């Protein structure tokens, strides 16, 4: 082959890095999809705060090792403690709302509704970060919310309250990610995840203690019952499943952080939507469930809009905040 026809070494290296990043992302999302299956399976017997507590308890020491490998224990010292606490609390609310949602609605529906998060981030970046959003991205945001209306079918009187929990999960996740954009200038992703795991453990344990003292009566709605039931001691297999949730959390985070570390975000991010594929496949294998046409059509709107907004994000001129560059791990 003619030497002039060969791509520059830097270009080839970037292509290889993006391919590795996409692989890490898809692997991480595939692993996280098993966590959703386990939590939905356990939601009939255990309260959500117990699952969150064990998840954080198992993940925290594993993430501490990741912090040491990634940026060193010195990175845990931060000048933005309250911002970490605020972001961690928002992440806790996001996961709590999502877990409560999947207790009552199909995982595929919950994931589809959660995918409005990039659209929320685009809309909220205007008041929170002062970013300018062009009309094309606003059209993408609007198309995504049309997909939400298709899935919720509000005019047909079939809105499931748990679907609103999935949307609340997307909203709080978006707020947390906006804080992460600022923290990412000075702190590593592993440090942010470690603080989040500690908050998960603390609040999950506190919720369990308060609910135990109050003795709420069981509810007929799966989401509310998942929230209010008391803790109970797991059996052998159940204990293993609880531990698996924490391990998946730590390993999945490592893969996702690696994905965005080695690959360009605008090349990797569109593959976030592969989690919908894993969700459809696993829910069919475990429960034989297939999404209805409203879910599939609404998901198509949301996914298409999200990918379009991400592509427009790639083309926009970056503000000084973004130009500073993210925290570099060692």
Task: Please report the pLDDT score of residue 187 as a whole number.
Answer: 82
> What one-character-per-residue DSSP string does 220-246 give?
SSHHHHHHHSPP----HHHHHHHHHHH
200, 73 Cβ separation under 8 angstroms: no
pLDDT at residue 320 in the model: 44
Whole-structure pTM value: 0.84
**218 DSSP assignment:** P
Alpha-carbon separation of residue 110 from 104, 148, 194, 226, 280 (angstroms)? 9, 11, 26, 16, 11
Q: Is residue 328 part of a domain?
A: no
Neighbours of 286 (CB within 10 A): 12
> Which pLDDT score is estimated for 149?
85
The whole domain housing 44 covers 16-323
In this predicted model, what pLDDT tens digit does every residue of 69-86 receive, in sequence order?
878 888 888 888 899 899
What is the pLDDT at residue 158? 54
Does a structural domain hold residue 1? Answer: no
Residue-wise pLDDT for 14-32, tens only, equals: 667 788 888 988 998 899 9
Which tokens go with 158?
């079939």
pLDDT less than 70: residues of the chain:
1-15, 129, 154-159, 217-218, 265-266, 313-330
In a domain, 105, yes or no: yes
Name the domain count of the chain.
Answer: 1
Give ∠ CA 240-29-323 in degrees, rounded to 5. Answer: 130
The confidence score (pLDDT) of residue 159 equals 66
Report yes or no on 5 lying in a domain. no
> Residue 10 in 3-state DSSP?
helix
Q: Please give the DSSP secondary-structure letter assigned to residue 158.
A: -
Q: Mean pLDDT in the chain?
A: 82
pLDDT of residue 185: 76
**Does the residue 329 lie in any domain?**
no
| Those residues with Cβ within 8 angstroms of residue 34's Cβ, 6 or more apart along the chain or in another chain | 244, 248, 282
The pLDDT assigned to 69 comes to: 83
| Separation between Cα atoms, residue 228 and residue 109, nearest integer Å | 23
């Amino acid at each position: 082959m003619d030497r002039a026809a060969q791509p520059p070494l830097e270009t080839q290296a970037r292509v290889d890095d993006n391919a590795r990043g996409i692989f890490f992302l898809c692997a991480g999302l595939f692993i996280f999809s098993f966590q959703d299956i386990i939590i939905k399976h356990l939601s009939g017997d255990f309260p959500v705060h117990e699952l969150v507590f064990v998840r954080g308890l198992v993940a925290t020491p594993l993430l501490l090792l990741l912090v040491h490998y990634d940026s060193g224990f010195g990175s845990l010292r931060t000048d933005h403690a309250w911002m970490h606490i605020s972001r961690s609390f928002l992440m806790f609310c996001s996961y709590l709302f999502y877990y409560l949602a999947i207790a009552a609605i199909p995982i595929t529906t919950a994931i589809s509704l959660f995918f409005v998060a990039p659209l929320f981030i685009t809309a909220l970046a205007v008041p929170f970060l002062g970013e300018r959003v062009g009309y094309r991205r606003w059209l993408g945001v609007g198309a995504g919310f049309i997909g939400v209306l298709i899935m919720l079918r509000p005019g047909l009187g079939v809105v499931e309250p748990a679907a609103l929990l999935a949307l609340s999960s997307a909203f709080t996740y978006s707020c947390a990610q906006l804080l992460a954009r600022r923290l990412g200038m000075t702190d590593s992703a592993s440090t942010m995840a470690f603080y989040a795991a500690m908050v998960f453990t603390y609040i999950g344990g506190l919720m369990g203690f308060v609910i135990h003292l109050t003795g709420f009566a069981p509810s007929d709605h799966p989401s509310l019952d998942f929230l209010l039931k008391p803790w109970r001691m797991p059996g052998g297999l159940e204990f293993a499943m609880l531990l698996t949730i924490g391990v998946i959390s730590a390993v999945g985070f490592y893969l996702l952080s690696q994905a965005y570390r080695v690959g360009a975000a605008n090349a990797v991010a569109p593959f976030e939507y592969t989690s919908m594929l894993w969700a459809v496949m696993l829910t069919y294998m475990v429960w034989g469930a297939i999404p209805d046409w409203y879910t599939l059509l609404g998901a198509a709107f949301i996914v298409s809009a999200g990918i379009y907004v991400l592509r427009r994000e790639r083309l926009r001129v970056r503000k000084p905040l973004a130009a500073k560059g993210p925290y570099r791990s060692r």
